[in-house]
Every structure is written in structure tokens, then in C-alpha cells.
Amino acid sequence: MQIERLYKIFKAHPCVQTDTRALAEGQIFFALKGPNFNGNTFASKALELGAVAVVVDEETGIADERIFQVEDVLSALQSLALHHRKQFNIPFIAITGSNGKTTTKELIHVVLSSTYKTYTTKGNLNNHIGVPLTILSIKEDAEMALIEMGANHQKEIESYCKIALPTHGIINNCGKAHLEGFGGIEGIRKGKGELFDFLASNQGKAIINSDLDYLLTMSKKIEHVLYYGNTLGKIKTSIIKSEPFLLVEVENNTMDNLKIQTQLVGSYNKPNVEAAIAVGIEFGISIEKIKKAIENYQPDNARSQMITKGSNKIILDAYNANPSSMQVALENFAEQQDKNKYLFLGAMMELGEYSIKEHENIISSLVEKNLKNTILVGGDFGKIKHPFVYFESADSARDWLKDNPIENALILIKGSRSTKMEKILELL
């Protein structure tokens, strides 16, 4: 009953906020709790700022009809999102994976948006708070919804599916990310596979990279499937070149195959492009529109960005890092023809008992590929014997650059979010 009352308010004021610093008049405030904050203590402030409803789960002592006291604020937020989701009879496409899911999501978004009014996850709002907030941001004019789901432990994707109720789903890959929380690669596949489990139980459709055998195995119970990739995909692509940006050729029924010139760095983005093409075709978008949308997409937010600063070309891929994404980045970088190459690599996090071994593997790859001009930063790189320059922090690496300027070079910057490797940009 509380949710239905709250939804009536939401319909009249369809904007939800969880931070009073960003709260505007006419919005609904959810007083969430975290390890270092308690939103309930800001209930009075939210009212002063003009919130039309304030959802709390503690006694506030405030006599105001705008106060909604519930058992748990987060559960109320998620329940409101589910109630809102049920108002739509449109495709809801869920995407998860270990590497490249945000880039894949953005590519699919631009393709779908070429033809349909499409709502999607903003930035990296892909967790237990971000998923319901994304759903609540969807307006009545929506024709498509695209929901990114991140996870670092079992049952997380399952919980998001119960809120988003996806009709379609993509697991773009299962790499070595969040090994600590998932408990190894099989745990990752089980956790990510919760999306496929939901689709199988709810007559949903899976969009599958057929070049990854384990995805074929994971999707066996799903009746409705759409394949991309060269193994089983109806649309097949090949790489013409990958530097400075990925250029792919798409086989079609005409004499001249279609070429798509992306603004994406690295051959590892080929499956991401294929997924966007597959989704576009699934929903009746012409290949010409798909081509234009992909070619116009320019990555940002430190995800495989190509930046020119002075005489240097910089691949900024510092949003996150795990063993799988680090290895493909190194392979792509080693293939680049530039003679003067430098790497700044930050440590990888959330690897638990696998951490030392995975960092050792990266060291071995650097040596094997003869990538001598490498600067390592932070974490378990400092616990391993290696021949490279090492600093405890990105700040220290940046300071080193003051006395060791780099010019006329191709530079890769990559690391986990917590290493803040983007700081190095200031001195390049």
C-alpha cells in the first residue's frame, strides 16, 4: 500500500534523489544508509529543500505528511522501481559481463537510439542502487530500455533481474574480474549466468557471442537465442585494421561488404561492435543506420579513449582493470607499430587469493612482449620482483614525470579505479 501511494506521487513528480546535495524542489528523497552515512538524518533538510516525499526507515520525530516511513529504504526504492517497470510493455535489454560491458551498452544505445526512444544506464549506475534509479528514470515515451548490471558476488545479478524483468539479455564475456567475491572463474560464470537463468525461466531471449564456447554452454536452457560472432552469427565481421582505431568489415548480401570505421581503440572491441550490430538487426534497424551510429560513437570516461597531448598519443583506459582486460590491452599495445611506447599500469583489485599470481602473469606478459618502458603503480605490483620502474601511487609516478618527460610517444594508461591512474595525464 505504501508503494502504491508513493507511486502516485512519483507519477506526478517522476524524479528520485538519494543525495540532498543534488536534491531539487519537487523530487522524492530516499534516505539511504551506507557505511559512512545515514540518509535519515537528512530528512529535515530534504523537506526544507522542497522534497515532495521523503522515504525513511527510522523515526525522525517530524510531523509532516511528506514523510513515508518504511521498513527498509533500499527495499522501498527497489519495490518502487519494480512497480514502475511493470507499467511498460517494451523490450528491456539487460547486459552484464566482465570486460567491456559499458562500451557494449553505449554502442547498443547509440544504435537503438537511431530509431527508437531508448533509455539506458547513465555512467556506471549498475549496482543495487543504480539499477532501480535507472528504471525510475524511464519516461512514458520509452520504446526501448537498456539496463547495465554489474556484480562482484553470487545472487547479485539475480536480484537485479527481479527488479528489471529483462526480456532480452547479453553476457558479453566472463573474464577474471572480482575473483575474490565470485570465488574463481567458475563462480564468475555462475554469477553472470544468473541473467541467462532468468531468461530461461521467463521465455526471454539471449543475445550470445557464439565465439565463446562457455557462453554457448551457459545458454543451453534458453529457448530463444540470437547469435553474433563468426561461429554461429548470421552477420560476420573481420578486422581490417586496429590502429589507430578499429576498422571492421561486415559481410552482407551485396557484392561490396560494408566497412565500419569506429573510434574505438583495440581489436578487443570487435565483439562489442558485433553485439551492437546484432541488436540493431534484431530490432529492424537498417545496416546503414547501424554503421552511422557506431562510427559516430566516441568513448569517454577513461574507457579506451585516444587522447593527443602535445607530441604524445595516449590510450587512457583507466576506468578499471582486471587480469583479462589487462592482458588484451597489453596484446593490443604490443601490436602497435609506434617505436616509442610507454606503459603506466596500475594494480588490479578485488582478486583475493589470486592477486599475486595474476600480477605475476602481467609481469611475465610485459617481459615476453618486450615492453621495456613500463611503469608499475601500487598494490601487489610492489610485492613482486620485476625489472620495471615502480611507484606506490599515481601521484609518485606523476612526480617522476617532472624529471623524466616523455615526448613523441604512444602511451597506455591502465589500472583499477582506486589507483587513479588518470592523474598521470597532467604531466604528459
Q: What is the DSSP track for 64-89?
A: -TTEEE-S-HHHHHHHHHHHHHTT--
Per-residue model confidence as pLDDT tens digits over 258-267: 899 999 998 9
For residue 43, pLDDT over 60 is answered with: yes
pLDDT score of 104: 95
pLDDT score of 256: 67
Q: What percent of the chain has pLDDT over 90?
A: 84
- Residue-range domain boundaries for the chain: 2-70, 88-296, 305-427
Provide the CA 344 distance to its chain's centre, in angstroms: 22
Q: Are 148 and 123 in contact (CB under 8 A)?
A: no
For residue 253, pLDDT over 70 is answered with: no
**Which DSSP category does 405 fall into?**
-
Cα–Cα dist 119/112, whole Å: 10
Lowest mean pLDDT among 200-204, 269-273, 336-340, 374-378: 336-340
Cα–Cα dist 252/291, whole Å: 13
Lowest mean pLDDT among 28-32, 215-219, 304-308: 304-308
Q: Which CATH architecture has domain 305-427?
A: Alpha-Beta Complex (3.90)
For residue 195, pLDDT over 80 is answered with: yes
pLDDT score of 173: 93
Which CATH class, in words, describes the domain spanning 2-70?
alpha beta
Per-residue model confidence as pLDDT tens digits over 347-389: 999 999 999 999 999 999 999 999 999 999 999 999 999 999 9
For residue 92, pLDDT over 60 is answered with: yes
For residue 255, pLDDT over 60 is answered with: no
- Cell of residue 47, nine digits: 523537506
For residue 1, pLDDT over 70 is answered with: no
Fold equal for 2-70 and 88-296: no
pTM of the predicted protein model: 0.91
**88-296 belongs to CATH 1.10.10.10:** no
